[in-house]
Amino acid sequence: MNPLTIRSRLGDYDVDFRDDADWALGLCELDNAFFVVDELVWRLHGEGCLAPLATRPLHLVPATEETKTLEGVGDLCAGMIAQAAKRNAVIVSVGGGVVQDATGFLASVIYRGVDWVYVPSTLLAQADSCIGAKTSLNFRHFKNLLGTMYPPKRVIIHPPLVATLNDDHFFSGLGEIVKMHIVAGPDATKRLEPRMAALCRREQASIGDAVRTSLLIKQQFIEEDEFDRGRRRLLNFGHCFGHAIESATDFAVPHGQAVVLGIVLAGLVSCARGRLTRARLDETTARLLLPTLTSAASIDDLARGAVVEAMHHDKKRSGTGLAVVVPDDDWGLVLVSDVTEAEASRALDELPGALESARSRTA
């Protein structure tokens, strides 16, 4: 597959799709590289496609939210200073969004910025987060509060890496893929629908195609609005509720699945406002959204209260109503900033019923 070149005001970069076994060899030949690898990915692939890296000193990190904090990045800084000379230092990282955020942040600040090569290992990182140049750290109890805009010099996508993901994280990535297609419009979702069964069976060829299509869609948004001032915000479809669900469940619901629940909730807000019919919402939920939800995507009554609480805190920070991307009857999206907590609360109450009626359509 041809590489994609992402145009960025911070420096263009290529996304290479590499099915072959040689891509890791090339990375080993880099002079003065500091390697950071998700420790689980190393355990699963250290004797497989990542074997060439065994010849280099590796910094292994757990993919926990603590890794992407100032303390976590401090440890990486210390490791890098001890290992790599300042001149022409390059960071090579392999992992999902956690490793991406920590190493992207590190690359952007150490020595006022060094080159960075990123190999995404989760479906979410391959299909979504690896482009767009955002790096984020958690600060105290605030998720993703600190951050920089800093693109890698190169992204290498090796599709077979995702074969070892557990279902919860695989379907989380699939959730973001579905979101990306909905954001792109009805033609994209029509093409996706017949492929959902193969994707859910985790067929490699379908996954590779869906990853590339998702990146092509995201590319259009970020190249037009790199700094999130307008159209790029539509990529946040499902994320207002999604982020609140993640924090209310202490991240038990993986990101992409929280986003999918967030899409259903934004749909329910639209239904209540008369912008979307329930039949249309149920149809899309049944065909595209429900298949991406595993048992990890459950929010009980207690957590539903905590979601409203989390949104309330968010609202206190912005000082206005809740900003939610909402769909209309053709799944056209618009960002509104006047959603009330009462509307959010009502949508949360209606969520179990909405999922149930979509489920009965597929039965």
Ligand X SMILES: NC(=O)c1ccc[n+]([C@@H]2O[C@H](COP(=O)([O-])OP(=O)(O)OC[C@H]3O[C@@H](n4cnc5c(N)ncnc54)[C@H](O)[C@@H]3O)[C@@H](O)[C@H]2O)c1
Binding site for ligand X (CB under 6 A): 38, 40-41, 44, 63, 68, 95-101, 121-122, 124-125, 129, 132, 134-136, 144, 161-162, 164-165, 169, 172, 255
Q: Residue 125 carries which DSSP code? A: I
Strands (E) located in the chain:
4-6, 13-17, 33-38, 58-61, 90-95, 115-120, 134-139, 142-149, 154-157, 322-327, 333-339
Q: Least Å distance between CB 246 and ligand X? A: 8
Nearer to ligand X, 8 or 345 (CB): 8
**Of 98 and 268, which CB lies nearer to ligand X in the complex structure?**
98
What stretches of 231-277 show up as alpha helix (H) in DSSP? 239-248, 255-272
Q: Could you give the 3-state DSSP secondary structure of residue 120?
A: strand
> Using an 8 Å Cβ cutoff, are 111 and 141 in contact?
no
b/e sequence 209-220, b meaning 16+ C-beta within 10 Å: bbbbbbbebbbe
By beta-carbon proximity to ligand X, the closer residue of 60 and 198 is: 60
Q: How many CB atoms lie within 10 A of CB 146?
A: 16
| Nearest CB to ligand X, comparing residues 169 and 287 | 169
Tokens representing 28? 């080993």
Shortest gap between Cβ of 238 and ligand X (angstroms)?
12
Q: What is the DSSP letter of 68?
A: T
- Residues 3, 17: contact at Cβ < 8 Å? yes
Comparing CB distances to ligand X, the nearer of 121 and 284 is 121
Judged by beta carbon, residue 243 or residue 287, the one nearer ligand X is: 243
Selection from 165, 212, 171, 194 nearest residue 297 by Cα: 171
Shortest gap between Cβ of 174 and ligand X (angstroms)? 11
DSSP string, 133-185: -EEEEEETTEEEEEEEE---SEEEE-GGGGGG--HHHHHHHHHHHHHHHHHH-
* CB 83 to ligand X: min, Å: 23
CB of 158 or CB of 212, closer to ligand X: 158
Smallest separation, CB 214 to ligand X (Å)? 12
User: Which one, 95 or 327, has the nearer CB to ligand X?
Assistant: 95
Min CB(40)–ligand X separation in Å: 4
Of 124, 78, 69, the C-alpha closest to 101 is: 69
Least distance to ligand X, CB of residue 56, Å = 19
Which ranges constitute the DSSP H helices of 84-136?
A: 97-109, 123-124
Minimum distance of ligand X from residue 172's CB (angstroms): 6
Q: Helix crossing, 255-272 with 167-184: angle to 10°?
A: 40
Please, which residue, 111 or 142, has the CB nearer to ligand X? 142
CB of 111 to ligand X, least distance (A): 21
